[in-house]
């Protein structure tokens, strides 16, 4: 019980729970002061506040994860051993998910990128297949590309430099697909694509627009938790982060659909 109370108060007093609490206080204030504000002014203020309150709650709770994250992730299951060893002319492609720059340690691989890269490295250890890493450097930023940073990590993990293909020009998923497939089309007939489960749908769509060979999804970094508890219905920053990432993916899918 103490654990639940602490978690409840923490969720309530930190964003996004704090935002919802403030909105509720604002609505109560308007309700008790309705005679002073007048019906017209109150109606103009209350409706947007109610809509905003509902949106924040949905995005920062289990409902947002269910509506936005689950449909993206449940479509793709982890790669099976049968799929993994289906044929030899295969390359493992790992897509970057961000680099942290300007830290006291300089350029550091982002957590999402590291999770994806670890998944690709595991598949490489199982199969011996070559690895291709993809990710560029934003305009106006000095330093290594995301792909070069990923390559250096793979070398530290014991992967031979001759087995790593680096594509360091891409700035988005669509270009990841276009640039990487251009490098691989002459030597390989099958791609095992490694990226976050939430990101896989957009990635598969992009690669199918550019790759004529076989394409196999190997999702990692699943975020939707099928275990349900009361705490998951309380607004929290973890659910909000997942929901916002999913919103980004849905918007990207719509954009790529019209782009193609």
> Per-residue DSSP letters for 198-228?
HHHHHHHHHHHTT--SEEEE--B--------
Residue 84's contacts (CB-CB under 8 Å, 6 or more residues apart) are 123, 126, 127, 192
Is there a contact between 79 and 56 (Cβ–Cβ < 8 Å)? no
Q: What is the CATH number of domain 78-217?
A: 3.40.50.620
Residue 108 φ/ψ, nearest 5 degrees? -125, 140
Distance CA 16, CA 244 (A): 12
Minimal CA–CA distance to 250: which of 197, 181, 212, 201?
A: 201
Q: How many residues does the chain have?
A: 260
Per-residue pLDDT 10s for the chain (260 aa) are: 555 565 566 555 555 666 777 777 776 776 676 666 555 555 666 666 777 778 888 888 999 999 999 999 999 999 999 999 888 899 999 999 999 988 888 888 999 999 999 999 999 999 999 999 999 998 878 889 999 999 999 999 999 999 999 999 999 999 999 999 999 988 999 999 999 999 999 999 999 999 999 999 999 999 999 888 888 888 888 999 999 899 889 988 988 888 76
| pTM tops 0.75 | yes
CATH 3.40.50.620 in the chain is located at 78-217
Residue 40 to residues 31, 45, 68, 133, Cα–Cα distance (Å): 13, 9, 35, 58
Residue 190: in which H helix or E strand, if any?
Answer: strand 190-194
DSSP per residue, 125-162: HHH--EEEEE----TT--S--HHHHHHHHHHHTT--GG
């Amino acid at each position: 019980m103490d654990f639940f109370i602490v978690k409840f108060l923490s969720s309530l007093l930190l964003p996004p729970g704090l935002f919802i609490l403030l909105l509720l206080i604002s609505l109560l204030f308007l309700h008790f002061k309705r005679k002073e504000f007048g019906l017209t002014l109150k109606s103009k203020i209350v409706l947007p506040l109610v809509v905003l309150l509902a949106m924040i709650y949905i995005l920062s709770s289990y409902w947002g994860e269910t509506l936005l994250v689950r449909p993206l992730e449940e479509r793709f299951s982890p790669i099976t051993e049968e799929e993994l060893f289906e044929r030899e002319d295969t390359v493992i492609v790992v897509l970057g998910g961000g680099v942290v720059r300007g830290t006291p340690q300089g350029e550091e691989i982002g957590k999402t990128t590291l999770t994806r890269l670890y998944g690709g490295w595991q598949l490489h250890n199982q199969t011996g297949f070559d690895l291709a890493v993809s990710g560029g450097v934003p305009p106006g930023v000095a330093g290594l590309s995301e792909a070069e940073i990923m390559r250096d990590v793979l070398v530290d993990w014991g992967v031979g430099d001759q087995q790593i293909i680096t594509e360091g020009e891409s700035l988005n998923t669509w270009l990841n697909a276009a640039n990487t497939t251009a490098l691989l089309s002459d030597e390989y007939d099958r791609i095992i694509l490694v990226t976050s489960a939430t990101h896989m749908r957009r990635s598969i769509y992009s690669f199918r627009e550019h790759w004529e060979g076989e394409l196999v999804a190997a999702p990692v970094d699943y975020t939707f938790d099928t275990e349900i508890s009361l705490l998951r219905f309380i607004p929290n920053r973890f659910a909000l982060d997942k929901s916002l990432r999913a919103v980004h993916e849905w918007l990207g899918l719509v954009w790529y659909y019209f782009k193609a």
